[in-house]
A and B are shown apart, each in its own frame.
Chain A
Amino acid sequence: MSRARRSAGSVRGPSSALTSFLANLGVEPSAQLTTWGNTSAINATDHAPADGPEVMDGIDPAGSVTARNVVAGPSRVGEGTPSDHEDDVAPPRKRLRGASVDSEDLDADFEPKSGPAAASSSKPAVAPTDLANIGEFMNCGECGKRFTVTAYTKEHPNQPMTWLCVDCCYAVGVDPFAKPKKAAAKKKAGGKEDRGKVVHYETRKGATPLGDICIGIIGRFIEDVEQLGDIGSINLDKVCRIISKSRRLAPETAALFYSADRQELSMYDCTNLVQDSYISMAKLCPNMEYLYLNLCGQLTTDSLISWSKTFKRLRRIELFAPFLVRKEGWLPFIKSMGKRLEGFLITQSPRIDLEVVEKLVACCPNLTELRLCEIGHMNSDFLRPLGKLRHLTLLDLSAPGTTLSDQSVIELLEDIGNNLHTLNLSDNPGLTNEIVPAIATCSNLRRLYLKHLVELTDDGVAQFFRTSLSPGFETIDLEKGHELGDGALRALIAHSGHSIEQLNLLGWRKCPADALAELRSCKHLRELNLGWCRNVTDFTLKDILEGCNEIEQIRVWGCNLLSDAVPRKKGVKVRDVVDSGERANLVKVIGIETHAI
Chain B
Amino acid sequence: MANDDDYVLLESNDGFKFVVSRKVACGSGMLKSMLDDEAAFSESRSKVCHLDYRGIILLKVIEYLSYKVQYADFNSEDIIEDFADRIDPYIALELLTAADFLDT
Contacts and interface: CB of A to CB of B under 8 A. Distances in A.
Do A and B bind?
Answer: yes
Interface of A: 203-211, 213-218, 220-221, 227-229, 231, 235-236, 238-239, 242-243, 245, 581
B41 to A, nearest CB: 9
A217 B76 contact: no
B93 A207 contact: no
B76 A581 contact: no
A207 B95 contact: no
A227 B96 contact: no
A556 B1 CA distance: 33
Contacts of B84: 213, 216-217
Contacts of A218: 89, 92-93, 96
Contacts of B104: 209-211
B89 A204 contact: no
Interface string B82-95: 01100101111111
- The secondary-structure label for the interface of chain B is helix
Most chain B Cβ neighbours within 10 Å, of A213, A218, A243? A213
Interface stretch (B3-11, B17-25, B64-72): B64-72
Contact of A207 (B67, B90, B91): B67
Given A205-B74, A210-B83, A227 B90 contact: yes
For the complex of A and B, 9 pairs with smallest distance between CB atoms:
A214-B96, A210-B99, A211-B99, A217-B92, A204-B76, A242-B100, A210-B104, A207-B68, A221-B89
Given A207-B83, A217-B84, A220-B89, 13 more contacts: A203-B75, A204-B76, A206-B68, A206-B71, A207-B64, A210-B61, A213-B64, A214-B92, A227-B90, A228-B93, A239-B96, A243-B96, A581-B39
A432 B96 CA distance: 51
B64 A210 contact: yes
Contacts of A229: 90-94
B97 interface: yes
A215 B87 CA distance: 12
B83 A208 contact: yes
B77 A214 contact: no
B76 A208 contact: yes
B79 interface: yes
A239 B99 contact: no
Nearest to A217: B92
A297 to B, nearest CB: 25
Contacts of A243: 96
A228 B71 contact: no
A338 to B, nearest CB: 37
A211 B96 contact: yes
A234 to B, nearest CB: 11
Contacts of B89: 217-218, 220-221, 227-228
Given A211-B99, A211-B104, A206 B74 contact: yes
Nearest to A211: B99
Contacts of B67: 207
Interface of B: 33, 39, 61, 64, 67-68, 71-77, 79, 83-84, 87, 89-97, 99-100, 104
B33 A581 contact: yes
B96 A203 contact: no
Nearest to A208: B76
A215 B74 CA distance: 22
A585 B89 CA distance: 37
A221 B97 contact: no
B101 to A, nearest CB: 9
A239 B92 CA distance: 11
Nearest to A235: B97
A239 B68 contact: no
Most chain B Cβ neighbours within 10 Å, of A207, A210, A213, A581? A210
Contacts of B33: 581
Contacts of A208: 76, 83
A205 B79 CA distance: 10
A216 B82 CA distance: 12
Contacts of B64: 207, 210, 213
A208 B104 CA distance: 10
Contacts of A221: 89, 92
A214 B89 CA distance: 8
Most chain A Cβ neighbours within 10 Å, of B74, B87, B100? B100
30 contacts: A205-B75, A206-B73, A206-B74, A207-B64, A207-B76, A208-B83, A209-B104, A210-B64, A210-B68, A210-B99, A213-B64, A213-B84, A214-B92, A214-B95, A215-B96, A216-B84, A217-B84, A217-B87, A218-B96, A221-B89, A227-B89, A228-B89, A228-B92, A231-B93, A231-B97, A238-B97, A239-B97, A242-B97, A243-B96, A581-B39
A242 B91 contact: no
Contacts of A236: 93
A208 B73 CA distance: 12
A578 to B, nearest CB: 14
Contacts of B83: 207-208, 210, 213
A211 to B, nearest CB: 4
Nearest to A226: B90
A221 B87 CA distance: 12
Nearest to A215: B96
A310 B73 CA distance: 52
A214 B72 contact: no
A67 to B, nearest CB: 49
Contacts of A231: 93-94, 97
Contacts of A220: 89
A239 B93 contact: yes
A220 B97 CA distance: 18
Contacts of B68: 206-207, 210
Contacts of B90: 227-229
Contacts of B99: 209-211, 214
A204 B72 CA distance: 10
Nearest to A200: B75
A2 to B, nearest CB: 45
Contacts of A209: 99, 104
Nearest to B68: A207
Nearest to B78: A203
Contacts of A214: 87, 92-93, 95-96, 99
B32 to A, nearest CB: 12
